[in-house]
């Protein structure tokens, strides 16, 4: 039993018996992609309750467009459109108490649009639509204030007579910018005073100052407030972020209603909501992203981040129907390109089908710092965040688009390459005009970029909503590929591989006309209602169009390890099986969560099962047509959590983990490998671009040891050897030098850092560094010798469960590491001083290079050796063998000869405890073998 324990220690310390072939097997690390360094992080936890930030949403009719209202209702939902911004027009004279000219015509048109397309509950806010200023309303008119007030009151009455409630009036619109002569701030003040004397406005808010530039908002609001304002309002078309946010706070603190009645981007909405805005009205209209945000805001906010200098923001919401969505937006005229990272703290998720993973980085395009209307695209997007047993496939490539009802595919009628050709359905024949390139639009498309372009592979044209129709039954025909809103589409996942394909312009979905199953049936748009004729799958062009599920895999088995579970099964017999989906639950019988998709082999290592408990697994086969088999029978395994090696990166031309857990790392930037300290190679960090990212759960340990060989080229302070954390408030790191010249280990969990400091690393010298944490505190070893310890370090990595785990990169914007790492190891317990010393005595560069083989022809006992060790050689006959014993620095310690057929007893009593190498050489072979001496 003692021999088995010692051998286990050797395996844990050195990874004996592991193989690169095994390290390349399927595991939970296969989807790990090193993410770029982001400017901001939105951290969220899908299990949190979140914060409720309710808001009143509205649409705009100051831009007099029926289409804008129809589109906004389609994307937001009529129940969410609580207000509409209508207008009064100071353009034409009032005659006998009635409007005239364009003022009358346009007011009636606005009212008719409101009553035709908006629910009865939708209330009205009035602002000034002033393409010109009539003589009665000009500031030079002595009765200007009374005339404006009368105009507003007549317009109010017309809306009330049409059955609407007016809740707010804004006498001037963008008075800080207007070139049409509304008047001065004092003119505005006078109008407010007149309105306050009219009892018709006793229950109507009066809003100011409705400025274009948010820097001017507080001045106008504060100046006008004594006249009787009850609402503060600003737009965001110029100014600085601080003033935009603080304006809403000021209005709310004053007890007034805070409004943004001309929102141009969800950035303005998210920031406004964060700082107290109560009503938000979309200028123009609302499309997919804005509509989704309006729906989501009825739920709870789980996370938020902003970049004030760059005029961008992002948030994560749980919707009222329990979906999780991420949103990102930018100022229409002032944004700077910003990278946002969504970070799921507690579990792996899928971001628009990408995953499972913890983080997802999205670039939000903009202009240069300080630019105005130069390079900005009014960019915004929504990211659907999901988990469970049915995850949407990622769409990006060439496909056959299959209808669920008919089993037929979308095609260009008759294979035409002419503009105006109809889109129909037919049996798949492999023709190019039945194949479609479906690709995400550029993030610089303009406005929202959650859309796809669809082009036929034959003529390169796109499905187009003919004549920009907003009607059910609108025809779909082919036209030259462009990026009009009627040629862009968003994909709404409805389950089991099926999607709605919905128009960016109308929000209506593609369907086969009248559910016809026949070849040649036309494809049109319609409101989605759940019909199979509206559901589509995107299949590889060489897949068979069929809906028969493959057979269930058999013989599923689970083997528990200390830090992982190994699964294996017998393959399904069908030729078209594309792989296997792996599902896990923490309760018997489910519900199950998808932890891997399209696994090609018949084994899988779940290295995210790091908590010591029982896990339940099932597997499904999936074919190229996206048909999934039934679940296998459920199996379970209970991870042991016993002392073990969690990960071992030997960096022999890759970042694979050679432990049984397969915690493979992912690289960012280009990497090279050079002669290392242990075995052949080490990984080279260039200090300017590259780093390695490790799996999210690799350091979820109550106790831990992190050990590695470091070759540092020097340079700036605060480079990172490793940094495991969740951002700048939760982390543990090791830096070769601080700004005060110390090799530092630091750990933080939201409070103060807890620190171990020793003399900084020497430049361009291989140094072994190890850090251990357990209940007694933390220790730092340098070259196998205890350099510093502290019982005051009380934080465990399990306290904050780091998921952003880097080699060579910081949680902060510190310099990247410049140097090499070799033999990086993580253990789930604190190694003893002797074990760390043994690690630090590992093979030096060039020693036994390519020779170490732990040859079976040489045996030794006892293990470990105490005073003597007996060697036996069982290889081919050679009269004599030469035996040398080296320490791990390559120094020769003993030398003997050994006759064939005889045992050799070596006296090792004078050797210090530790690891040594025995090298046997004869005329047939050379064998090297490790030997542990322990007195």
pLDDT in tens, 842-867: 554 444 444 446 677 898 888 888 89
Percent of the chain with pLDDT strictly greater than 70: 96
268: three-class secondary structure by DSSP: helix
Per residue in 231-273, pLDDT tens?
999 999 999 999 999 999 999 999 999 999 999 999 999 999 9
What pLDDT, on a 0 to 100 scale, did the predictor assign at position 916?
A: 83
DSSP 475-535: BEEEEE----GGGEEEEEEEETTEEEEEETTT-PEEEEGGG--STT-BEEEE---S-GGG-
The long-range contacts involving 38-41, CB below 8 angstroms and separated by at least 24 positions, are: 38/339, 38/340, 38/341, 38/361, 39/307, 39/310, 39/338, 39/339, 39/340, 40/305, 40/306, 40/307, 40/312, 40/314, 40/338, 40/339, 40/340, 40/341, 41/305, 41/340, 41/341, 41/342, 41/343, 41/727
Q: Report the pLDDT averaged over residues 355-381.
A: 97
Q: Report the pLDDT averaged over residues 41-48.
A: 97
216: three-class secondary structure by DSSP: helix
pLDDT category at 691 given cuts 50, 70, 90 is very high
What pLDDT, on a 0 to 100 scale, did the predictor assign at position 890?
A: 65
Inter-residue contact 707 to 619 (CB < 8 Å):
no
Inter-residue contact 209 to 221 (CB < 8 Å):
yes
Cα Rg for the chain, rounded, in angstroms?
Answer: 35
How many degrees, rounded to 5, is the angle at CA 665 between CA 662 and CA 666?
135
Q: Report the pLDDT averaged over residues 570-588.
A: 97
How many degrees, rounded to 5, is the angle at CA 608 between CA 602 and CA 612?
110
**Helices and strands counted in the chain (H then E):** 12, 58
Nearest of 521, 472, 497 to residue 401 by alpha carbon: 497
Judged against a pLDDT cut of 50, whether residue 16 lies above it is answered with no
Judged against a pLDDT cut of 70, whether residue 19 lies above it is answered with no
Inter-residue contact 110 to 126 (CB < 8 Å):
no
Per residue in 656-684, pLDDT tens?
999 999 999 999 999 999 999 988 899 99
* Burial (CB count <10 Å: 0-12, 13-18, 19+), residue 733: buried
What pLDDT, on a 0 to 100 scale, did the predictor assign at position 842?
A: 59
Inter-residue contact 705 to 830 (CB < 8 Å):
yes
pLDDT category at 924 given cuts 50, 70, 90 is confident
b/e code 394-422 from CB counts within 10 Å (16+ = b): ebeeebbbbbbbbebbbbbbeebeeeebb
What pLDDT, on a 0 to 100 scale, did the predictor assign at position 813?
A: 95
What pLDDT, on a 0 to 100 scale, did the predictor assign at position 917?
A: 83
Judged against a pLDDT cut of 80, whether residue 753 lies above it is answered with yes
pTM of the predicted protein model: 0.88
Inter-residue contact 801 to 700 (CB < 8 Å):
yes
For the chain, give the mean pLDDT: 94
Q: In what order do the strands lie in the sheet with 858-861?
A: 858-861, 868-873, 904-907
pLDDT category at 199 given cuts 50, 70, 90 is very high
What pLDDT, on a 0 to 100 scale, did the predictor assign at position 323?
A: 97
Nearest of 430, 363, 435 to residue 397 by alpha carbon: 435
Q: Report the pLDDT averaged over residues 141-145.
A: 97
Judged against a pLDDT cut of 80, whether residue 3 lies above it is answered with no
Judged against a pLDDT cut of 80, whether residue 687 lies above it is answered with yes
What pLDDT, on a 0 to 100 scale, did the predictor assign at position 849?
A: 44
Other CB atoms within 10 Å distance of the CB of residue 750: 10
What pLDDT, on a 0 to 100 scale, did the predictor assign at position 843?
A: 52
Q: C-alpha 360: how far from its chain's center?
A: 2
Other CB atoms within 10 Å distance of the CB of residue 45: 15
Phi and psi at 383, nearest 5°, equal -120, 125
Q: Report the pLDDT averaged over residues 474-486.
A: 94
Judged against a pLDDT cut of 50, whether residue 119 lies above it is answered with yes
Helix (H) or strand (E) holding 221: helix 214-228
Per residue in 528-553, pLDDT tens?
999 999 999 999 999 999 999 999 99
Those residues with Cβ within 8 angstroms of residue 844's Cβ, 6 or more apart along the chain or in another chain = 677, 678, 766, 888, 889, 890
Cα–Cα distance for residue pair 86/91, rounded to 1 Å: 15
Cα–Cα distance for residue pair 674/670, rounded to 1 Å: 14
Judged against a pLDDT cut of 80, whether residue 78 lies above it is answered with yes
281: three-class secondary structure by DSSP: strand
Judged against a pLDDT cut of 60, whether residue 24 lies above it is answered with no
Inter-residue contact 675 to 661 (CB < 8 Å):
no
Other CB atoms within 10 Å distance of the CB of residue 763: 13
pLDDT category at 329 given cuts 50, 70, 90 is very high
Cα–Cα distance for residue pair 194/210, rounded to 1 Å: 18
What pLDDT, on a 0 to 100 scale, did the predictor assign at position 7?
A: 34
What pLDDT, on a 0 to 100 scale, did the predictor assign at position 699?
A: 98
Other CB atoms within 10 Å distance of the CB of residue 98: 10
What pLDDT, on a 0 to 100 scale, did the predictor assign at position 914?
A: 75
Phi and psi at 193, nearest 5°, equal -60, -40
Kindly tell me the sign of the dihedral angle through the C-alpha atoms of 749, 751, 755, 761.
positive
What pLDDT, on a 0 to 100 scale, did the predictor assign at position 23?
A: 38
Kindly tell me the sign of the dihedral angle through the C-alpha atoms of 201, 202, 205, 208.
positive
What pLDDT, on a 0 to 100 scale, did the predictor assign at position 844?
A: 45
Q: Report the pLDDT averaged over residues 373-379.
A: 97
Judged against a pLDDT cut of 90, whether residue 788 lies above it is answered with yes
642: three-class secondary structure by DSSP: coil
Most confident of 274-278, 836-840, 922-926: 274-278
Helix axes 266-274, 241-253, angle to 10 degrees: 40
pLDDT category at 125 given cuts 50, 70, 90 is very high
The pairing of beta strand 231-238 with beta strand 257-263: parallel
């Amino acid at each position: 039993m003692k021999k088995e324990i010692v051998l286990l220690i050797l395996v844990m310390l050195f990874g004996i018996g592991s193989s690169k072939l095994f390290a390349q097997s399927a595991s939970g690390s296969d989807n790990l992609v090193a993410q770029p360094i982001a400017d901001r992080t939105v951290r969220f936890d899908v299990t949190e309750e979140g914060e409720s930030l309710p808001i009143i949403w509205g649409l705009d009719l100051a831009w007099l467009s029926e289409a804008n209202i129809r589109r906004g209702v389609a994307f937001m939902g009529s129940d969410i459109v609580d207000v509409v911004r209508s207008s009064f027009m100071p353009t034409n004279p009032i005659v006998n108490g009635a409007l005239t000219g364009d003022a009358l015509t346009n007011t009636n048109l606005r009212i008719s649009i409101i009553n035709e397309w908006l629910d009865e509950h939708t209330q009205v806010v009035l602002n000034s639509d002033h393409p010109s200023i009539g003589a009665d309303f000009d500031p030079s008119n002595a009765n200007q204030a009374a005339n404006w007030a009368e105009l507003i009151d007549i317009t109010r009455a017309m809306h009330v007579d049409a059955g609407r409630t007016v809740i707010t009036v804004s006498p001037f619109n963008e008075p800080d910018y207007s070139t049409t002569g509304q008047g001065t701030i004092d003119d505005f003040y006078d109008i407010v005073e007149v309105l306050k004397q009219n009892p018709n406005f006793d229950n109507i808010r009066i809003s100011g100052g409705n400025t274009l530039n948010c820097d001017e908002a507080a001045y106008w609001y504060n100046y006008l407030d004594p006249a009787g304002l009850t609402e503060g309002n600003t737009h965001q078309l110029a100014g600085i972020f601080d003033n935009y946010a603080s304006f809403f706070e000021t209005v709310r603190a004053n007890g007034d209603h805070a409004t943004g009645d001309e929102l141009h981007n969800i950035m303005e909405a998210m920031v406004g909501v964060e700082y107290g805005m109560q009503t938000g009205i979309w200028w123009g209209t609302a499309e997919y992203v804005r509509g989704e945000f309006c729906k989501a805001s009825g739920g709870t906010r789980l996370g938020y981040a902003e970049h004030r200098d760059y005029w961008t923001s992002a948030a994560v919401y749980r919707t009222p129907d329990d979906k999780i969505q991420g949103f990102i937006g930018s100022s229409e005229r002032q944004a700077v390109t910003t990278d946002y990272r969504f970070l799921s703290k507690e579990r792996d998720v899928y971001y628009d089908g990408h995953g499972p993973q913890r983080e997802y980085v999205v670039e939000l395009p903009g202009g240069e710092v300080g630019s105005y209307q130069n390079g900005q695209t009014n960019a915004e997007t929504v990211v659907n965040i999901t988990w469970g047993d049915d995850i949407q496939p990622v769409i990006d490539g060439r496909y056959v688009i299959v209808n669920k009802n008919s089993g037929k595919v979308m095609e260009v009628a008759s294979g035409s390459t002419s503009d105006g050709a109809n889109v129909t359905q037919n049996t798949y024949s492999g023709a190019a005009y039945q194949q479609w390139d479906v690709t995400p639009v550029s993030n610089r498309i303009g406005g929202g970029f959650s859309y796809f372009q669809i082009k036929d592979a034959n003529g390169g044209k796109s499905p187009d909503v003919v004549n920009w129709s907003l009607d059910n039954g609108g025809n779909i025909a082919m036209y030259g590929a462009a990026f009009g809103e009627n040629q862009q589409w968003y994909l709404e996942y409805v389950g089991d591989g099926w999607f709605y394909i919905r128009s960016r312009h109308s929000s209506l979905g593609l369907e086969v006309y009248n559910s016809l199953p026949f070849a040649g049936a036309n494809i049109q748009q319609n409101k989605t209602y759940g019909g199979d004729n509206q559901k589509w799958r995107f299949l590889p062009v060489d897949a068979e169009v069929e809906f028969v599920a493959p057979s269930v895999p058999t013989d599923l088995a689970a083997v528990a390890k200390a830090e992982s579970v190994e699964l294996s099964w017998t393959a399904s017999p069908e030729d078209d099986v594309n792989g296997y989906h792996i599902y896990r639950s923490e309760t018997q019988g489910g519900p199950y969560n998808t932890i891997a998709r399209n696994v090609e082999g018949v084994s899988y290592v779940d290295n995210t099962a790091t908590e010591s408990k029982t896990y339940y697994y099932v597997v499904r086969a999936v074919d190229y047509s996206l048909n999934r088999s039934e679940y296998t029978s459920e199996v379970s395994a209970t991870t042991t959590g016993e002392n073990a090696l969690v990960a071992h990166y030997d960096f022999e031309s890759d970042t694979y983990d050679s432990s049984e857990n397969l915690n493979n790392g992912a690289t960012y930037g280009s990497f090279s490998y050079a002669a290392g300290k242990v075995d052949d190679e080490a990984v080279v960090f260039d200090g300017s671009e590259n780093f390695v990212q490790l799996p999210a759960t690799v350091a979820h340990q109550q106790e831990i040891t992190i050990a590695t060989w470091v070759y540092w080229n020097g340079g700036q302070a605060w480079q990172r050897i490793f940094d495991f954390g969740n951002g700048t408030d939760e982390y543990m790191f090791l830096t070769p030098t601080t700004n005060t010249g110390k090799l530092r280990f630091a750990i933080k969990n939201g409070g103060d850092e807890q620190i171990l400091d020793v003399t900084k690393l020497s430049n361009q010298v291989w140094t072994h560094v190890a850090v251990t944490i357990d209940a007694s505190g933390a220790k730092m070893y340098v070259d196998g010798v205890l350099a510093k310890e502290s019982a005051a370090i009380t934080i465990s990595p399990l306290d904050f469960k780091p998921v952003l785990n880097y080699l060579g990169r910081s949680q902060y914007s510190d310099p990247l590491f410049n140097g090499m790492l070799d033999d990086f190891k993580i253990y789930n317990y604190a190694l003893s001083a002797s074990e760390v010393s043994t690690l630090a005595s590992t093979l030096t560069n060039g020693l036994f290079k390519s020779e170490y083989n732990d040859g079976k022809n040489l045996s030794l006992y006892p293990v470990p050796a105490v005073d003597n060790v007996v060697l036996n050689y069982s290889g081919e006959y050679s009269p004599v063998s030469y035996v040398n014993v080296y320490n791990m620095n390559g120094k020769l310690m003993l030398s003997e000869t050994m006759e064939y057929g005889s045992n050799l007893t070596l006296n090792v009593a004078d050797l210090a405890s530790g690891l040594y190498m025995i090298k046997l050489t004869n005329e047939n072979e050379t064998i090297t073998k490790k030997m542990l001496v322990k007195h």
